[in-house]
Amino acid sequence: MLDLSSFKKQNYTPYETPLERAHKLELFLGKKSPKIYIKRDDMLGLTGGGNKTRKLEFLMADAIEKKATAIITCGAIQSNHCRLTLAAAIRENCECHLVLEERIPNTFDQEASGNNFLFQLLGATSTTLAKKGENTQAIMKKMADELKKQGKTPYIIPGGGSNEIGSLGYVNCFYEIKNQIKTLAINPSTIICTSGSSGTHAGLVTGIKITKTPIKCLGISVMRSKIEQTELVRSLASKTARLLQANTNINDEDVLIDDNYIGNGYSMPTPEMIEAVTILAQTEGILLDPVYTGKALAGMIDLIRKNSISSDETIIFIHTGGSPALYAYQKDFHQTLKQNYNKTP
């Protein structure tokens, strides 16, 4: 494995996140179920945990090295990334300016709960609403220019923390998983993760390629077509490998994407997502989020039910966190909550 110690890193989680067997979920899924392990990255540090913490450990270290005094980032109106970037900025005594993109017209509510409430509670220095189609990169660049005029040192973190520096967090995560696999003496065939801004998926793919580990990484797309998402992940994984000076090529066939579980669009609830979130809550006592992990688990469950994942396999589901967003979706769950999944079928 390539050593990551040459890259500066903040330590927001002083422990490995567990790799837990989901016995009751397997029991619920019945004879078709493979052995399922959940990588509990919802237990990462900072406010509420989640995958962005791993990325921010490297991104904030880079910001600190560049003597940043103000962090600028963007995300959707219930962005887990914005929540965790804000928490990291507080930890490092930096201002934090958020650009929130209203990807679905007329859905922003200043009084909404979930992450929107947490932006206010944590005290974001500023929040700017960008309408669908507005160039968030241009907005952040203009904001950075204004802050420079005020004598501040801005540092822009891309949406999702998804650049090659941020993706190092999930190269590191794969190293952690590889050690846990050895300790548990298991032989997983597939890692399943959400594929959105691409940093998590790209980092895992890079780690797999660098270590030449015979394991697949399937990303469940939550916003883009298979063709678009494959190129996004492949490109970022290639940049991450170059940053690591790894002697490896990452091709389209190294990037597995399933785009069948997006529904009507990014962040739009689907019945399958609602069912999946409810099933995991009532079988394992684990909360998913409605935008990313809920749709990823819905995809995993459907693939198991269709025998696309066989019962003799062992798989790992990456829980990337995000449960604070659940509270903004309560009305979507009311009907499903009348169903009790805490029983075998």
Which SS3 state, helix, strand or coil, does residue 117 take? helix
pLDDT, tens only, 281-310: 999 999 999 999 999 999 999 999 999 999
Which SS3 state, helix, strand or coil, does residue 185 take? coil
Burial of residue 81, with CB atoms counted within 10 A of its CB: 0-12 exposed, 13-18 middle, 19 or more buried: buried
- Name which of 323, 296, 267 is nearest 50 in CA terms: 323
Residue 70 and residue 98 in contact, taking contact as beta carbons nearer than 8 Å: no
The catalytic residues are 79
> pLDDT band at residue 21, thresholds of 50, 70 and 90?
very high
Question: Could you give the C-alpha distances from 268 to 102, 230, 331, in angstroms and in order?
Answer: 13, 22, 13
Q: What is the pTM of this model?
A: 0.95
Region at 136 (left for phi over 0; alpha for psi -120 to 50; beta for the rest): alpha
Please state, for a pLDDT cut of 70, what percent of the chain lies above it.
97
List the domains of the chain with CATH numbers. 19-50+163-338 (3.40.50.1100), 52-161 (3.40.50.1100)
Q: What is the pLDDT of residue 331?
A: 87
- Please state, rounded to an integer, the average pLDDT across all residues of the chain: 95
Q: What is the pLDDT of residue 345?
A: 47
C-alpha 77/C-alpha 27 separation (Å) is 36
Q: What is the pLDDT of residue 58?
A: 98
> pLDDT band at residue 340, thresholds of 50, 70 and 90?
low
Sign of CA dihedral 46, 184, 22, 272: positive
- Name which of 243, 81, 230 is nearest 164 in CA terms: 243
DSSP state of 40: E
Please state, for a pLDDT cut of 90, what percent of the chain lies above it.
88
Mean pLDDT, to the nearest integer, of 84-112? 92
Mean pLDDT, to the nearest integer, of 159-181? 97
Q: What is the pLDDT of residue 202?
A: 98
